[in-house]
Amino acid sequence: MTELKNLGQELSRFRLRIFAAAGFVLFCFSLLAARLVFLQVFKHEELSTRAEANRIAVVPIVPNRGLIVDRNGVVLASNYSAFTLEITPSKVPDLEQTINALAELVEVQPRDRKRFKRLMDEGKSFESLPIRTKLSDEEVARFTAQRFRFPGVEIKARLFRSYPLGAVGSHLIGYIGRINQAEKKLMEDWPDEDLANYRGTDYIGKLGLEQAYEKELHGQTGFEEVETSAGGRAVRRLRSNPPTPGNKLVLSIDIRLQALVEELFADRRGALVAMDPRTGEVLAFVSKPTFDPNLFVDGIDADSWRELNEDADKPLLNRALRGTYPPGSTFKPFMSIAALNSGKRAASTVIMDNLTFSFGGRTFGSPESDRPGPKDMRLAIVQSSNVYFYSLANEMGVDLIHDQLEPFGFGRKTEIDMQGEVTGLLPSTAWKKRAYKKPEQQKWYAGETISLGIGQGYNHFTMLQMATATSTLITGGQRYRPRLVREIEDVVDHRKRRVASDALEPLPLLPEHVQVITQAMHGVTVEGTSRAAFAGAAYQSGGKTGTAQAIGLRAGEKYSNIKADEYKRDHSLYVAFAPVEAPSIAVAVIVENAGFGSTSAAPIARRVFDFLLQGQYPSEQDIALTQKGQTTAPVGATRPIASVPLPGSAEAVAAAASAAASAASNPAKAASAGAKP
């Protein structure tokens, strides 16, 4: 039987479905329209900014680092541009395979791989890290042609720091290096403005003036707005704000004098500080041995670092700033001014010097070269009498010595414009209580005071402190904070800002007391221990030699027993000033383990004075003998300063090449020249 359909009911049902479907479609379109209105109207500004950010990349432009020049304009630190091949590890699927493939296009040495791995360990995977630096034009062309094969690898133009004179003044200038994780953490505490200025900056000053004047040298970072494609490649530049280069540092240092002193030291260890006592400006700041700061700019390799770090001569130690030494007899003029200033002893007081001083059952002796007899203060300084100053130290006591000499800068920082300075040690009873834990060690024994009088015992100072104290003494108490930077020049408007050495409150020294000491020190150069070194000088100078024990001797041990060990020999010291009538130079110098101050340290000071006061550069023969500690007064014909090329300069390299070529063409003549005394 056939079932009849209800057409009216079916039609009604169909219409209902049509309306439901239409309603659903309308509802969906309403949602889309509402979303469109929300995005286009209410979120327009935010989304527009986001889209613009996706389209436009803001790229920081690192500024040129400021130059460093000496007082005469000789460039000590500059910049040059070079291409680097860089990898962003997070964008590279197989890092090892990528590096191996790159090595087929450009040279990638094992040290490059090691440096890259170290940078990865220190940095983050999304940072661009160099696998090769200073690419040649040919290498750049080879990679560019194959760039499509290496996602996450790109060539960048980077600025590199250059130190044209190499190792000359390396401890003074310092160096820059890649910012490490510890430095990044410290930078997080910087003000937002300073932190923003280092966007894109990978390198920072690590040592010396590069570190101390980092913010002056860095400059202001610029930016560039670049339109990018969907793939992130730059399409066109929209606008830019150029960076402002860092300021130029003009030093008070005379780099030719610096180079001369470093040459006179040769392979010996030591330090020298020469300064103008009238202003506090430092003229030479020498620490030997030196190192080549160019090794650190590109990231020093492990072998070079190990060689520097494990060297027994410690070439990375800034001895002028951080090396502390017993001052030996160079301390005696300061003991004398302390005695006069405190009223403990008059200049005319005579002490009988029998070459020994007994105290508490112990006998303190004198060098075999000392002469016995009655001595007043002047003669005690000229002849460097130990007994005179043993007895003076005993009379004054450790705390009076400390209170009188601490204002000269002993045992505290000079606050020179460089980081890392140490305080040295000027002992006192309060210091010993702080320094030791056991009660028996905290007690100061009277016998410990005796050796302080001749600059031994606990006394330990830097050559910077010795030079500063000498300056204070010879100027009658005028004190300055020593300074290495003379001017800061703005490279935009070329305005120069003078960096004056801060004048401190003068010490209350009586002129007649100062005259006693300075005349006695002048006597040292005329009739005393440095007379041979200053024979024939066209100016009058004052000085004091010193010979300080590098180590203490055990009971029953004689100095002759340790002479064979170079590092245990006595240090050679000299403090000096010139001219006597109006001092313009003060010098403190130490040659480690070189013996008597008169044979090694004083001859170097003489040549510093000849350079600054007479414009004389020593002969090659004289330099060779001074390097061996075999000179006193200069020998050979002196040369005009300007005629001698700076070590490391293009002129010096050319001269060395010419000399080598000449020697190769005439070996007999070269051998004959080398045999001359």
Annotate 232-242 with b (16+ C-beta within 10 A) or e (fewer). Answer: eeeeeeeeeee
Considering the chain, what is the average pLDDT of its residues? 87
Rounded Cα distance between 507 and 477, Å, is 4
pLDDT of residue 47: 58
In the predicted structure, residue 299 carries a pLDDT above the cut 50: yes
Catalytic center residues: 329
- Give the dihedral sign, CA 312/411/542/548: negative
- Predicted TM-score (pTM) of this structure: 0.85
In the predicted structure, residue 76 carries a pLDDT above the cut 70: yes
pLDDT of residue 82: 87
Average pLDDT for residues 44-59, to the nearest whole number?
A: 62
C-beta neighbour count of 231 within 10 angstroms = 6
Rounded Cα distance between 178 and 196, Å, is 17
Residues written for the chain: 677
Structure tokens at 287: 């620490």
In the predicted structure, residue 188 carries a pLDDT above the cut 90: no
For the chain, the helix, strand and coil percentages under 3-state DSSP, each to the nearest 5: 40, 20, 40
C-beta neighbour count of 436 within 10 angstroms = 12
Q: Which helix (H) or strand (E) holds 213?
A: none
In the predicted structure, residue 634 carries a pLDDT above the cut 50: yes
Rounded Cα distance between 55 and 226, Å, is 8
Q: What are the tens digits of pLDDT across the range 355-409? A: 999 998 899 999 878 889 999 999 999 999 999 999 999 999 999 999 999 999 9
| Cβ within 8 Å of residue 472, ≥6 positions away | 277, 408, 409, 478, 479, 507
In the predicted structure, residue 673 carries a pLDDT above the cut 50: no
Q: What are the tens digits of pLDDT across the range 427-452? A: 999 999 999 999 989 999 999 999 99
Look up residue 187 and give its amino acid: M
Annotate 46-75 with b (16+ C-beta within 10 A) or e (fewer). Answer: eeeeeeeeeeeeebbebbbbbbbbbbeebb
In the predicted structure, residue 554 carries a pLDDT above the cut 60: no
Confidence of residue 223 (pLDDT cuts 50, 70, 90): confident
In the predicted structure, residue 218 carries a pLDDT above the cut 50: yes
Confidence of residue 214 (pLDDT cuts 50, 70, 90): very high
Q: Which helix (H) or strand (E) holds 429?
A: helix 429-435
pLDDT of residue 667: 54
pLDDT of residue 199: 86
Rounded Cα distance between 500 and 225, Å, is 41
In the predicted structure, residue 142 carries a pLDDT above the cut 70: yes
Domains annotated on the chain, with CATH: 60-251 (3.90.1310.10), 255-488+500-654 (3.40.710.10)
Structure tokens at 648: 């490391």
Nearest by Cα to 326 from 402, 396, 424, 421 = 424
Confidence of residue 675 (pLDDT cuts 50, 70, 90): very low
Structure tokens at 122: 């220190």
Confidence of residue 524 (pLDDT cuts 50, 70, 90): very high
In the predicted structure, residue 662 carries a pLDDT above the cut 70: no
pLDDT of residue 670: 44
Q: How would DSSP label each residue in 574-614?
A: EEEEE-SSS--EEEEEEETT---TTTTHHHHHHHHHHHHHH
